Chains A and B, each alone.
Chain A
Amino acid sequence: MTFEQIIFYLFSAVLVAAAVGMVTVRSPVYAALCLILSFFTSAALWLLLEAEFLGLVLVLVYVGAVMVLFLFVIMMLDLNTDPLKEGLVKHAPVGFVVAAVIAVEMILVLQSAPFQIATPLNPAPANNTEALGAILYTDYVYPFEIAAVILVVAIIAAITLTLRRRPDSRKQDISQQVQVKRADRVRLVKMKAETKEQA
């Protein structure tokens, strides 16, 4: 076994353990942390496959942004975690059957001839990021632009579903503060000086 293979099996073992932990631990915060660990180890596996860009993006987007949102929701939100776990034992047999079926299918697929190639058909490019970029913005420009549209739909959907105006909130509008004129705030009134007798 080469050094690379040892590293591969090490990370794979951690990945499987983290994934199992993610579905079995009781606390949702631990589950989220397990998920982060499994993302990290998958990123490491991708690095081993010399797909650096994908590995780094996985860390950047999933660990850096998505999981932070997850943790934020789990830690802050007023949810009772006990009922969430109730079905686990009851549904476990079905889950195991599905998992077994998928596993058998994957083994059958991966053992078939087209996947039994010792060396890749095309040698891995020296620079994964460059190889991706070379076709992503030229050959694949149509899917690339559709991706932008999907992101815009995500923006609109998020705003439509969650944004609420609060009529009672007191907010500071700096541009209005700056634009205020003296006349809006102070009124100078001319009047006669009062004397003691008049009072």
Chain B
Amino acid sequence: MLGEYLPILVFLAVGFGLAVVLLGLGLLAGPRRPDAEKDSPFECGFPAFEDSRIKFDVRYYLVAILFIIFDLEIAFLFPWAIVLDTIGVFGIVAMGIFLTILIVGFIYEWKKGALEWE
């Protein structure tokens, strides 16, 4: 059973190896002559005006959180789809109730305007 995952393991190993080799080669073969000016942040020829971190609208996070909730919901759908033919009507009804409850939440967020980008 686990043998099926061998290609993924090989893939991981090759990916890791490639990253090490490429970065290592760059480190070894490339010329590196750092100085203070080179290492300082660069903004169109000026010294950097401000930090790149700013106060950010919480709205972005709200969208991300709402996405996570529905992402979790999707995770519940995968096993359900696989066993649907064995669990029968009961399983369909169970998932129906699950989705109905979440759809109520979805209507709430839609009507509240949480999905609108003002």
| Distance of A161 Cα from B100 Cα, bound (Å) | 24
B8 to chain A: closest CB distance in Å?
A: 8
| Distance of A180 Cα from B104 Cα, bound (Å) | 31
| Distance of A138 Cα from B87 Cα, bound (Å) | 7
| Distance of A154 Cα from B70 Cα, bound (Å) | 11
Contact B105 A152 (CB under 8 A): yes
| Distance of A132 Cα from B97 Cα, bound (Å) | 19
A contact residues around B56 at 8 Å (CB): 76-78
B4 to chain A: closest CB distance in Å?
A: 9
Interface of chain B: mostly helix, strand, loop or mixed: helix
The verdict on A90 contacting chain B, using a C-beta distance below 8 Å, is: no
B5 to chain A: closest CB distance in Å?
A: 6
B contact residues around A13 at 8 Å (CB): none
The verdict on A48 contacting chain B, using a C-beta distance below 8 Å, is: yes
Partner-contacting stretch, out of A67-75, A99-107, A113-121, A191-199:
A67-75
Q: Number of A-B pairs whose CB atoms are under 8 Å?
A: 143
State which size class the interface on A falls in.
Answer: 35 or more
The verdict on A156 contacting chain B, using a C-beta distance below 8 Å, is: yes
A contact residues around B67 at 8 Å (CB): 65
Contact B83 A130 (CB under 8 A): yes
- A60-B71, A145-B101 are known contacts. Are A72 and B61 too (CB-CB below 8 A)? yes
List B8-60 residues whose CB lies under 8 Å from chain A: 9, 51, 53-56, 58-60
List B61-118 residues whose CB lies under 8 Å from chain A: 61-62, 64-69, 71-73, 75-76, 78-80, 82-83, 86-87, 90-91, 94-95, 97-99, 101-102, 104-106, 108-109, 112-114, 116-118
Contact A151 B73 (CB under 8 A): yes
B contact residues around A53 at 8 Å (CB): 78-79
Q: CB within 8 A of A61: which of B75, B86, B105?
A: B75
A contact residues around B62 at 8 Å (CB): 158-159, 162-163
A contact residues around B109 at 8 Å (CB): 155, 159
B15 to chain A: closest CB distance in Å?
A: 12
A10 to chain B: closest CB distance in Å?
A: 10
Q: CB within 8 A of A159: which of B99, B101, B114?
A: B114
Contact A141 B79 (CB under 8 A): no
Nearest CB in chain A to that of B100: its residue: A148
Q: Would you give 19 A-B contacts (Cβ < 8 Å), ordered by A? A: A61-B68, A65-B67, A65-B68, A77-B56, A126-B1, A129-B78, A133-B79, A133-B82, A137-B91, A138-B91, A145-B98, A147-B76, A148-B102, A151-B102, A152-B102, A155-B108, A156-B105, A158-B65, A163-B62
